[in-house]
Amino acid sequence: MNLPFPDVSEMPDPGRAREAALCIVSILDQAMAATRNGFASAGRDGSIFEEIDRHVYEYFCLSSEEVMMMEDGVEFVFSAAQPCHGSLPAAWKNSSERERRLYAETLVHDLGPWLKDGSAVNACLMSCNSDLALLRLTLCAQEGKREYMELRDHAVRERLAELFSHIHQPLRGNFQLFPDCRIFDGDHLYLVKPMQRRFWLRGAALADVAALVLDIQFQSAPPKERRRAW
Question: How far is CA 196 from its chain centroid?
Answer: 13
Q: What is the CA radius of gyration of the chain?
A: 22
φ, ψ for residue 59, nearest 5 deg: -60, -45
Predicted confidence (pLDDT) per residue in 56-86, tens digit: 999 999 998 899 888 888 888 777 777 666 6
pLDDT tens digits, residue range 20-62? 999 999 998 888 887 776 555 444 556 788 899 999 999 999 9
DSSP assignment of 171-205 equals --S-TTT---EEEEETTEEEEEEESBGGGSSHHHH
**Count of C-beta atoms within a 10 Å radius of residue 77:** 16
Query: Does residue 151 surpass a pLDDT of 70?
Result: yes
pLDDT of res. 229? 37
Q: Which residues of 79-98 are buried (b: 16+ CB within 10 A; e: fewer)?
A: beeeeeeeeebebeeebeee
**Chain length of the chain:** 230
